[in-house]
Amino acid sequence: MEENSRVIRSFKTQVGDWVFVIICVLISLMCILPMINLLARSLSGTDYLVRHEVYLWPKGWNIDAYKTVLTDMKYIRAFIWTVVLTIMCTLLSLVMTTICAYPLIFENLRGRGVINIVITITMFFSAGTIPNYLLMKSLNLLDNPLVLMVPYCLSVYNMIIMRSFFYGIPDSLRESAEIDGASYFRILISIYLPLSKPVLATLALFYAVGRWNGYSDALMYMKDKNYYPLQLLLYNILNNINSVEVATQEGFSAPGLKDSLKSAIVMFSTIPILCIYPSLQKYFIHGVTLGAVKE
Amino acid sequence: MARDKVVVKPPKHKIDRAYIKRYWQLYALLLIPMIYFFVFKYIPMQYVLIAFKKYSIVQKVWEMPWAKNHGMEYFIKAFSNRDFMNSLRNTIVLNLLDLVIGFPIPIIFALILNELRFKRFKKSVQTIAYMPHFLSWVIIYGLALQLFTPTDGLINMAITAFGGDPIPFLNDGKHWVGTYIGLGIWQSFGWNSIIYLAAIAGISPELYEAASVDGAGRFQKMWYVTLPGIKPTIVVLLIMALGNVIGSNFDRPFALQNNLVMEYAEVISTYVYKVGIKGLQFSLTTAVGLFQSVVNVFFLLGANWLSRRMGERGIW
């Protein structure tokens, strides 16, 4: 069928096909050119940057900016801390999401309706920024590294995605295990989790990206610079907060060098995610679609 | 949706030893998430009272004295405060612009992708279009600086090379609004198209074949088959977006704003951060936050009601 229709496609249709291809190429360029410009800047010589001659290809090959980033303990430390934080948050969130979603698929569970309502309310009404801040204060979480992990470790939206996925697993599997005398905990571990790798991968990506990219919680709750995640550090650098530090302590007085340094730091904090997401494309597309089909 | 099937519900179990023996593990699993919701979502709700009280750092919430004017002092203050009214206006305007300009673009993009006949190429375009969604707003701000600064931004360099005048994309209020909306679309159009692509994939191929037999061309098929096929998805997402008109995200405006454009860039969330957490005016900003949350709930309930009214599935 496909082959036949290709043969009889008229000239007009074929021209149309190519028009769409060209549109898509332009859209793709729009998405990646900024990144390429950034890469070019981070690898360019300072003279060329000062004279505004760098467009999409590095001029005067120069990797000093990367050398600086990779030898400065401030960045390395923030990078390692953010990696550790992201891994720990993702694991914690996956556990929390699973233990919240799994019991709720049992229709016979008494109190399930009430629990669903309690959870749904939090999706629509939040106390607000200041009450949350006062809560962190009263829990002694301000300036405590735990504040970057615990308060947002369970997203109701992600829990719903996981629950929808669990609903898709045939009841018969569960029932036959029940007949064999397996406990519900056992069924979760040996039937549901092994079958849920796609949704676990998707949610791991969502949580990890959220943590890696998030900075507002650190901005509000964390004063201790040692625990700044990479994005907050980057925000301060881009806005020249502590620019004196950047300029004098590291010997960056030339404006061009500062520019390439900023580009290198942005690259440095983006690359991990850009390397990971394409391989998970199949999964997250499925995850987004599951999130849309609610009960 | 899968729950809609008509089933005769098994009679509810009595809570007896057998029930507990069978189900206790599920309750044990639920215990931790329930504590989480209680501590991090419900306990902060008591602090909402601060909106009606005079905040004091040494007293418990219920010991603080009520605010003047039957506790409404801080609401009155907020609504006569020029900065707050400005941020309220900006929140609504920016969200509406996002909606009007940003909403149709993922749909159009999904329609374009659907026309691509080369599967490999289509997949690559998708991968590239999803990329901006994975960038943080701080990084996007970094990119925007590289592209848009008047003297050495890529785009302004190109404009001056062709003899034009540089455009103050980030430093002039009105241009900033355009940049804000544009960057929002850039970041999300690919990601938001996923759901429409899934909806398009669900349209029966027979409909397209029938349309071909009737002599429909490419655009007629788009208009008469694809669009009606994804209409329910469009309606639900549109209504959800309408429900969020007063909601505000923090990361995006905060990362993109700068001192030159505050008149247009300050939104409620960033106002609350600056006046509340930085300026320590807790009562005033709690009142502002409460106002926002309550209006938001009404918008969401209204949106859901509208969605059901129009014969579509509700949002919940």
- Name the residue of chain B whose CA is nearest to A267's CA: B139
Tell me which of A293 and B121 has the higher pLDDT.
B121
> pTM of whole model > 0.90?
no
Contacts A131 to B, Cβ<8 Å: 44-48, 50, 286, 289
Q: Is the pLDDT of residue B157 over 50?
A: yes
Contacts A116 to B, Cβ<8 Å: none
Contacts A185 to B, Cβ<8 Å: 25, 29
Q: A23-32, A71-80, A146-155: lowest mean pLDDT where?
A: A71-80
Smallest Cα distance from B231 to chain A, Å: 14
Q: A205-219, A236-250, B138-152, B225-239: lowest mean pLDDT where?
A: A236-250
Q: What percent of chain B has pLDDT over 70?
A: 94
Smallest Cα distance from B12 to chain A, Å: 7
Q: Region B115-120: what's the mean pLDDT?
A: 87
Q: Is the pLDDT of residue A1 over 60?
A: no
Nearest beta carbon to residue B195 from set A125, A288, A294: A288
Q: What is the pLDDT of residue A255?
A: 56
A71: number of Cβ within 10 Å: 10
pLDDT tier for residue B135 given thresholds of 50, 70 and 90: very high
Q: A246-260, B113-127, B254-268: lowest mean pLDDT where?
A: A246-260
- Across chain A, what does the average pLDDT equal? 84
- Name the residue of chain B whose CA is nearest to A107's CA: B9
What the block records as the tokens of B116 is: 């691509």
Q: What is the pLDDT of residue B110?
A: 94
Q: Region A131-138: what's the mean pLDDT?
A: 92
Q: Is the pLDDT of residue A256 over 70?
A: no
Nearest beta carbon to residue B286 from set A108, A130, A219: A130
Q: A71-75, B60-64, B84-88, B292-296: lowest mean pLDDT where?
A: B60-64
Tell me which of A41 and B111 has the higher pLDDT.
B111
Smallest Cα distance from B154 to chain A, Å: 7
C-alpha neighbours within 13 Å on the C-beta side of residue B270: 22
Of A225-234, A236-245, A285-294, B54-63, highest mean pLDDT:
A225-234
- Name the residue of chain B whose CA is nearest to A288's CA: B195
The verdict on a CB contact (< 8 Å) between B1 and A27 is no
Q: Is the pLDDT of residue B103 over 50?
A: yes
The verdict on a CB contact (< 8 Å) between A52 and B151 is yes
- Name the residue of chain A whose CA is nearest to B280's CA: A130
Q: What is the pLDDT of residue A26?
A: 94
Q: How far is CA A165 from CA A162, A192, A224, B312, in A?
A: 5, 10, 40, 23
Beta bridge partners of B66: B53
Tell me which of A52 and B137 has the higher pLDDT.
B137
The verdict on a CB contact (< 8 Å) between A38 and B137 is no
- Name the residue of chain B whose CA is nearest to A221's CA: B277
B79: number of Cβ within 10 Å: 14
The verdict on a CB contact (< 8 Å) between B251 and A270 is no
pLDDT tier for residue A9 given thresholds of 50, 70 and 90: low
Reduced 3-state DSSP string for B122-136: HHHHHHHHHHHHHCC
Smallest Cα distance from A31 to chain B, Å: 6
Tell me which of A5 and B240 has the higher pLDDT.
B240
Question: Cα torsion at A42, A47, A52, A54 (round to 10°)?
Answer: -40
The verdict on a CB contact (< 8 Å) between B147 and A37 is yes
Q: What percent of chain B has pLDDT over 90?
A: 43
Q: Which candidate, B254, B53, B213, places its Cα nearest to that of A232? A: B254
Q: What is the pLDDT of residue B2?
A: 46
Q: What is the pLDDT of residue B141?
A: 92
pLDDT tier for residue A16 given thresholds of 50, 70 and 90: confident
Contacts A216 to B, Cβ<8 Å: 250-251, 254
Q: What percent of chain A has pLDDT over 70?
A: 89
What's the length of chain B? 316
Nearest beta carbon to residue A108 from set B1, B13, B255: B13
- Across chain B, what does the average pLDDT equal? 86
Contacts B33 to A, Cβ<8 Å: 96, 99-100, 154
- Name the residue of chain A whose CA is nearest to B243's CA: A124
Q: Is the pLDDT of residue A294 over 80?
A: no
Nearest beta carbon to residue A28 from set B12, B25, B128: B128
Q: Region A280-290: what's the mean pLDDT?
A: 84
Rounded to whole angstroms, the Cα distance separating A150 from B48 reads: 22
Q: A157-161, A249-253, A264-268, B225-229: lowest mean pLDDT where?
A: A249-253
Nearest beta carbon to residue A216 from set B50, B251, B297: B251
Q: Is the pLDDT of residue A243 over 70?
A: no
Contacts B275 to A, Cβ<8 Å: none
Rounded to whole angstroms, the Cα distance separating A144 from A12 reads: 65
Tell me which of B239 and B296 has the higher pLDDT.
B296
Q: Which candidate, A283, A28, A20, places its Cα nearest to that of B124? A: A28
Rounded to whole angstroms, the Cα distance separating B116 from A24 reads: 9
Instruction: Fill in the DSSP letter of residue A64.
Output: H
Rounded to whole angstroms, the Cα distance separating B68 from B124 reads: 61
Q: Is the pLDDT of residue A251 over 50?
A: no
Q: Is the pLDDT of residue B314 over 70?
A: no
Q: Are A103 and B26 in contact (CB under 8 A)?
A: yes
Q: What is the pLDDT of residue A110?
A: 87
Tell me which of B205 and A248 has the higher pLDDT.
B205
Instruction: Give the three-state DSSP class for A128.
Output: coil
The verdict on a CB contact (< 8 Å) between B282 and A134 is yes
Q: Region B208-228: what's the mean pLDDT?
A: 89
Nearest beta carbon to residue A38 from set B9, B146, B282: B146
Q: What is the pLDDT of residue B17?
A: 82
Q: Are B52 and B72 in contact (CB under 8 A)?
A: yes
Reduced 3-state DSSP string for chain B: CHHHCCCCCCCCCCCCHHHHHHHHHHHHHHHHHHHHHHHHHHHHHHHHHHHHECCCCCCCHHHCCECCCCCCHHHHHHHCCHHHHHHHHHHHHHHHHHHHHHCHHHHHHHHHHHCCCCHHHHHHHHHHHHHHHHCCHHHHHHHHHHHHCCCCCHHHHHHHHCCCCCCCCCCCHHHHHHHHHHHHHHHHHHHHHHHHHHHHHCCCHHHHHHHHHCCCCHHHHHHHHHHHHHHHHHHHHHHHHHHCCCCCCCHHHHHHCCHHHHHHHCCHHHHHHHHHHHCCCHHHHHHHHHHHHHHHHHHHHHHHHHHHHCCCCCCC
pLDDT tens per residue, range A23-45: 999 999 999 998 998 888 888 87
Smallest Cα distance from A23 to chain B, Å: 8
Q: Region B4-29: what's the mean pLDDT?
A: 74
Q: Region B153-160: what's the mean pLDDT?
A: 82
- Name the residue of chain A whose CA is nearest to B149's CA: A52
Q: Which candidate, A188, A240, A207, places its Cα nearest to that of A87? A: A207
- Name the residue of chain B whose CA is nearest to A29's CA: B128
Rounded to whole angstroms, the Cα distance separating B196 from B105 reads: 11
Q: What is the pLDDT of residue A53?
A: 73
Q: Region B220-245: what's the mean pLDDT?
A: 87
Helices H, strands E: what count in chain A?
17, 0
Best mutation target, B42, B53, B117, to test chain A (most A CBs within 10 A): B117
Residue A256: which H helix or E strand, with range? helix A255-276
Q: Region B203-207: what's the mean pLDDT?
A: 90
A128: number of Cβ within 10 Å: 26
CB neighbour class for B120 (10 Å; exposed up to 12, middle 13-18, buried from 19): exposed
Q: What is the pLDDT of residue A288?
A: 82
Q: Are B195 and B237 in contact (CB under 8 A)?
A: yes
The verdict on a CB contact (< 8 Å) between A273 and B134 is yes
Whose structure tokens read 């030159």? B260
Q: Are A253 and A60 in contact (CB under 8 A)?
A: no
Q: Are B178 and B144 in contact (CB under 8 A)?
A: no
Q: Is the pLDDT of residue B80 over 60?
A: yes
Q: Is the pLDDT of residue B70 over 90?
A: no
The verdict on a CB contact (< 8 Å) between A215 and B131 is no
Q: Is the pLDDT of residue A167 over 70?
A: yes
Q: What is the CA radius of gyration of chain B?
A: 25
Q: Region B206-230: what's the mean pLDDT?
A: 89
Q: Are B303 and B243 in contact (CB under 8 A)?
A: yes
Q: Cβ contacts of residue B149 below 8 Å, gap of 6+?
A: B156, B170
Contacts A209 to B, Cβ<8 Å: 134
Q: Is the pLDDT of residue B227 over 60?
A: yes
Contacts A263 to B, Cβ<8 Å: 142, 146
Task: Identify the structural domains of chain B with CATH numbers, from first to last.
Answer: 80-309 (1.10.3720.10)
Q: Is the pLDDT of residue A88 over 60?
A: yes
Number of CB pairs < 8 Å for A and B? 256
Q: What is the pLDDT of residue B23?
A: 87
